[in-house]
Structure 1
Amino acid sequence: MSDSPLKVFLFLLFVITLTSCTDDMQRTLQPTPSAFGRINSLVVVADSSTWQGDLGDSVAYFFEAPYIILPQPEPIFDVRFIEPEQVAGEPAWGQLRNYLVLADLSDTDSPTTQMVVNDLSDEKIQQVREEGFGTAVAKNKWATGQQLVYVIGKNYNELLTGLSSVYPGIVKRLEQGEDERMRVTTYFEGTNRRLGDTIRQLTGANLDVPGGYVRVPLDTDEVVWLRKEVQGASLNIMVTSAPYQNQSQLSKEGLKEIRDRIGKEYVSSTTDNTWMKINDTDLPLFTEAMELNGSYAIEGRGIWEIENDFLAGPFVSYLLNDTTDNELILVDGFVYAPGRKKRDLMEEVVQVIRTASIN
């Protein structure tokens, strides 16, 4: 009987150790949640005292700038502000995709500063203290598939000034991530090779046509018109070719001439004597020279409308120079979505028309 207390002690020690190991294993095996959230959304993490005033205004100016170009203004990102405590209190706040963390190191009592000091290396924090300002990027802090961009100043003024200098790079980084998400969504149903072959045969252009698009019947093969109907909206793509005559066609005026011509000939409403045209009176037609998949191109962004009717919406066009066949290829995407926000719909259309290339 003398060894009974020892046996009891060893048994209790075994149970405690087993329980501890089990708890640790459960924590280790606990699945990491996957990040979720709408396309083009951004969560700003900061203290309310930091957010209020000039810094909050700067974030709105930089990250809620208008998307170019829509009939009614919509921001490039949908921005929401939270404090770090909200993530602890409501875990769903920590399972979104894109975060911008703003920290003022001089406020040592700040929950955001404490979070940043805990997340980043001592070397990085010391670098910010010495240089006045710094940025860092992290992934998957609270969920898989998320990214956090840290913007840190040694004091409030350094934070404010620094943000104004680095925001273009942050916007570009966020847009690249959202661009990939949008591409996956756009081509979720795969590609329609039959429609792609039709476009290639009739116009000489290559285009990755997603599933869900159908060809709109026309009494001509001069234009290939594709359409996808979604709830409350119609997504449209038109492809045509035109003879290349001179360099002046590769311009804002040249793009407008070709687009207005096919709009007048092939697009109308149910009302008599109607046709589609570019409205560059109420809002400008933006154009930019670029290279698209190896070809010189003019990108155009603007607003279309139906003459003699009350229909309108955004469009994006690419006018490509086919030097082999001495032709111009117009690939145009436009959206009709009355009463709906149009930014994300246009982003989907742009994903498709940006695949355009010359044989």
Structure 2
Amino acid sequence: MKKILVLITLGVLIFSCQEKDSKRVLPNSVGAINTLSVVIDNNLWNGKVGDEIRDHFAAPVDGLPWEEPLFTIHQMPPEVFTDFARNSRNILYVAQDSSNVAAIKDDVYARPQKVAFIKGSTAESLIEAIKANSDEIISTFKKHDIKETQNRFKLSLNKENELKNKLGVSLTMPSVYKIVKEDHNFFWIERQIPKGTMNIIVYEMPKDYYPTDSTRVDQIIKMRDSIGKKYVPGRNPETMWMVTEKAYAPYIFDSNINGYEAIETKGMWEVKNFFMAGPFINYIVKDPINDRTLVLEGFTFAPSTDKRDYMFQLESILKTLKIEKKNTI
């Protein structure tokens, strides 16, 4: 009996060690944020299947001044998908096969990693599978990139506590972001970039300000413009301030940030009476802890420069939101 127990224990230990070893040998994943490796036969890529992939995974990002794709795509045929090529963080593997498969798997070749597999017996079945599963796959890849971006913040973390101490709000962001304006219940945080600035503003509104009816687009624009006039001036504060650009209809979605009900708005801002503009992402958040409405916004000024990755970093920062009881002393 003792021998049996020893053998069982030894077997468990060996299995456990093998399992740990299999996890340990996975290399670190690589790749820039918002990039996607697409593994697919060249003939499929250059035909209708490739067109379908591009229609979804290289679709324009909402709320930018010109078209930029959801992902920068790197395509490769299966025969070169070996060794280092398998270490990409996000991989879409599409193949013509006897079976029909659509699945997303974690850490297949590297860690952390998301690999989406789509297989079909014909080009038509592949196209249908891409149509049916692309939204879920894109959402998975984007959440994965947001998490990776947030993890990278920790390499050089901003340790300022003013937001937490005065508004009961915590945001995780790199140390290059600095508070440039503070006024009662309003904070403006800025990061210098080569051709401009990345900005975050945080402020509170009354509880009943959370827009819920069919006029919420107008309410959000009115709120943004009033805050811009009060706190985000141009060169001449009497005649210039940040407003919502009327030429671009904003995109509005119901959202959720770390369990808090929110409204997400993406659009374009401009400075009234001045040639200055850029994209913004805004979250209006229900704050039951402090019985108020909380507003978080990221906006970028970077003329003649692609802005997708700047706005993605701002979104990643805003989605680290944590709320605690505000200090009323």
Residues 1:213 and 2:192 aligned together? no
| Residue 290 (structure 1) aligned to one of 249, 252, 255 | 255
Say if 2:34 and 2:71, in contact at 8 Å, map to a contact too: yes
| Residue 300 (structure 2) aligned to one of 303, 317, 335 | 335
| Residue 225 (structure 2) aligned to one of 241, 260, 267 | 260
Which protein has the larger Cα radius of gyration, Structure 1 or Structure 2? Answer: 1
The residue aligned with 1:47 is 41
Residues 1:305 and 2:270 aligned together? yes
CA distance in 2, matches of 1:94, 1:207: 33
Question: Which amino acid is 2:146 matched to?
Answer: D
Distance 1:175 1:325, change over 3 A: closer
Residues 1:196 and 2:196 aligned together? no
Deviations 1:1-34 (A, max 9, x none): xxxxxxxxxxxxxxxxxxxxxxxxxxx9xx7653
Aligned ranges for residues 340-359 of structure 1 at < 5 Å? 340-358=305-323, 359=325
Cα distance, 1:206 vs structure 2: 4.0
Cα distance, 1:99 vs structure 2: 1.8
TM-score of the aligned structures, taking structure 1 as reference length: 0.74
Residues 1:317 and 2:319 aligned together? no
CA distance in 2, matches of 1:138, 1:288: 28
Cα distance, 1:153 vs structure 2: 0.7
- More divergent stretch after superposition (312-321 vs 287-296): 287-296
The residue aligned with 2:62 is 68
Residues 1:173 and 2:140 aligned together? yes
CA distance in 2, matches of 1:228, 1:246: 29
CA distance in 2, matches of 1:59, 1:32: 28
Cα distance, 1:68 vs structure 2: 1.6
Distance 1:318 1:140, change over 3 A: closer
The residue aligned with 2:193 is 230
Question: Which amino acid is 1:278 matched to?
Answer: T
| Residue 84 (structure 1) aligned to one of 70, 73, 78 | 78
Cα distance, 1:140 vs structure 2: 5.2
- Which one has the bigger helix percentage? 1
Moved over 6 A (4+): none
Cα distance, 1:284 vs structure 2: 1.3
Deviations 1:177-233 (A, max 9, x none): 2121111123321242423334xx2x4544345422211145x32421111223334
Percent identity over the alignment?
26
Cα distance, 1:38 vs structure 2: 0.9
TM-score of the aligned structures, taking structure 2 as reference length: 0.80
CA distance in 2, matches of 1:84, 1:344: 29
